[in-house]
Chains A and B, each alone.
Chain A
Amino acid sequence: MSDNQDPQTDGSGPGIVAPDDETPTWRERKERRTGLSRLTYEYFERSRREDQDLRQESTYVERDVLGFPAWPHETVRNLAISSFFVGMLVFLAAMLPPHLGDVANPAQTPSVIIPDWYLYWSFGLLKLGPLNPELSILGGEKLMSDEFYGVLANVAVVGVIAIVPFLNKGSARRPVEQPFWTAVGVAGVTFAFTMSVVAVQNLVPFSHGITFDLSFLLPLVAGTIAYSVLKAMREGYMYDLNRRYYRLRPPK
């Protein structure tokens, strides 16, 4: 073990490690009713300590990842989650009456043509024609067609998404650690949703002007709310504790 005082990525280093006879087992933790956060912390500290001892005793090459062993922690949890979803699929498939629709008629064009729902945002960006400026120097002509303008809007949005990983390296483990970038993400998700609403405007019970204005206002509002809420949550957030447990990269 090294002598410096920083937590090491292999799990060694100083830390609050309660003696084994004082730390609660999982069953004891379940039976306690008060101080649950402290008990949970001690439980995981004990688990981490066992993991550390195993690593230091073994001759296996140390990984630079601080984590919990795949067996049993991760495996049991993953088995439980998989079993739940498989069971839910079987239950719904067995219990709900099946929908056996009519055979598709290839000779007839459907009345409504829209992409799958996860592409609505892109379909909505194609409908940004009202934003296409009519330039006076061109005598009120538009520089490009509304269709090409919509394609350019797609290019711009995808370009912005591609730039974000270069601006933010993703070192935060929780949204509360970087409120600004969380607000950017919330605004982006909201913008995707509002653009989806614009794409299916004919199904929405509002006038086109309202949805079109809201589709640009709501992302700003949602981002501002997310930023202010997370700024308020920073009070009392234990950075050191969380960084200690969720440091998944070697220190710089």
Chain B
Amino acid sequence: MADEFIKGFAILTGGLLIWLVFAGWFNTPSFYDTQLIAPNPEDPGTYAAVALVIKDAMLYFALVGAFTFWVLVPTGRRAREYYAETDS
């Protein structure tokens, strides 16, 4: 259980850290304006477009990864244990 927790936590924090950096670059017009969640810049260059894709991918990676290790994997284990007990 503890291993699953730290895996999910590492994915969550690491993914959100990379998301934070790119969101700080491209989605923060100024300090006093919307921070991190402002709309994407119009007509980004090639590198900026790649960075925006990575940013979104990292956000979903963090959320889905944490959900997987904290909810799905333990649920699957419990379900497998349960069915192993009921079968025997």
A positions within 8 Å CB-CB of B: 95-97, 99, 101
Contact = CB atoms under 8 A, between A and B. Distances in A.
A101 B31 contact: yes
Given A95-B24, A96-B20, A97-B24, 4 more contacts: A95-B21, A96-B21, A97-B28, A101-B31
A110 to B, nearest CB: 14
A96 B21 CA distance: 6
A99 B20 CA distance: 15
A101 B31 CA distance: 8
Interface string B1-33: 000000000000000000011001100100100
10 contacts: A95-B21, A95-B24, A96-B20, A96-B21, A96-B24, A97-B24, A97-B25, A97-B28, A99-B31, A101-B31
Nearest to B31: A99
A99 B31 CA distance: 6
Contacts of A99: 31
The 3 closest A-B pairs by CB, nearest first: A99-B31, A96-B24, A95-B21
A96 B36 CA distance: 11
A97 B28 CA distance: 9
Contacts of B31: 99, 101
Nearest to B23: A96
B73 to A, nearest CB: 15
A96 to B, nearest CB: 5
Nearest to B3: A36
Contacts of B20: 96
Contacts of B28: 97
Contacts of A101: 31
A44 B27 CA distance: 49
Nearest to B32: A101
A96 B31 CA distance: 12
A101 B30 CA distance: 10
A99 B32 CA distance: 9
A212 B55 CA distance: 41
Interface in B29-53: 31
Contacts of A95: 21, 24
Contacts of A96: 20-21, 24
B32 to A, nearest CB: 8
A96 B25 CA distance: 7
Contacts of B21: 95-96
A89 to B, nearest CB: 13
B9 to A, nearest CB: 14
Nearest to B18: A95
Contacts of A97: 24-25, 28
A185 B9 CA distance: 27
A97 B21 CA distance: 9
B6 to A, nearest CB: 13
Nearest to A97: B24
